[in-house]
Homo-oligomer: A and B are copies of this chain.
Amino acid sequence: MTDVARAAGVSSATVSYVLSGKRPVADETRQAVEEAVRRLGFTLNPVARSLRTGRSTFVALIVPDIANPFYAHLAGALQDQLRAHGYHVVVSNTAARRETEEDLLREVVGQRFAGVVMTPFRLDRDAFKDLRRAGVPAVVSADVEFSDVDLVMPDSTAAVQRALALLAASGRRRVGVIAGPEDATGGDPRLERIKDAAAAAGLSIPKDLVVPGEHTRRAGVLGFERLMAARLRPDAVMCVNDVTAVGVMDGAEQAGVEIPADIAVIGHDDIDFASLVRPRLTTISYPARQVGRSAARLLLQQMDGRASCRVERVVADLVVRSST
Contact = CB atoms under 8 A, between A and B. Distances in A.
Interface of A: 56-58, 60, 66-67, 69, 72-73, 75-76, 79, 83, 88-93, 100, 103-104, 107, 111, 217, 246, 249, 272-273, 276-278
Q: How many copies of this chain does one complex carry?
A: 2
B76 A93 contact: yes
A75 B278 CA distance: 28
Given A90-B90, A92-B89, A104-B88, A111 B58 contact: yes
A89 to B, nearest CB: 7
Contacts of A103: 88
A103 B76 CA distance: 17
Contact of A72 (B67, B79, B92): B67
10 contacts: A66-B76, A67-B272, A69-B69, A75-B93, A88-B103, A91-B91, A91-B93, A217-B272, A276-B276, A276-B277
A66 B56 contact: no
B277 A56 contact: no
A57 B93 contact: no
A275 to B, nearest CB: 9
Nearest to A72: B67
A288 B83 CA distance: 28
Contacts of A72: 66-67, 72
Contacts of A90: 58, 60, 90-92
A91 B72 CA distance: 10
A91 B107 contact: no
A72 B277 CA distance: 19
A72 B76 CA distance: 14
A179 to B, nearest CB: 22
Contacts of A58: 90, 107, 111
A104 B273 CA distance: 29
Given A107-B57, A276-B277, A73 B79 contact: no
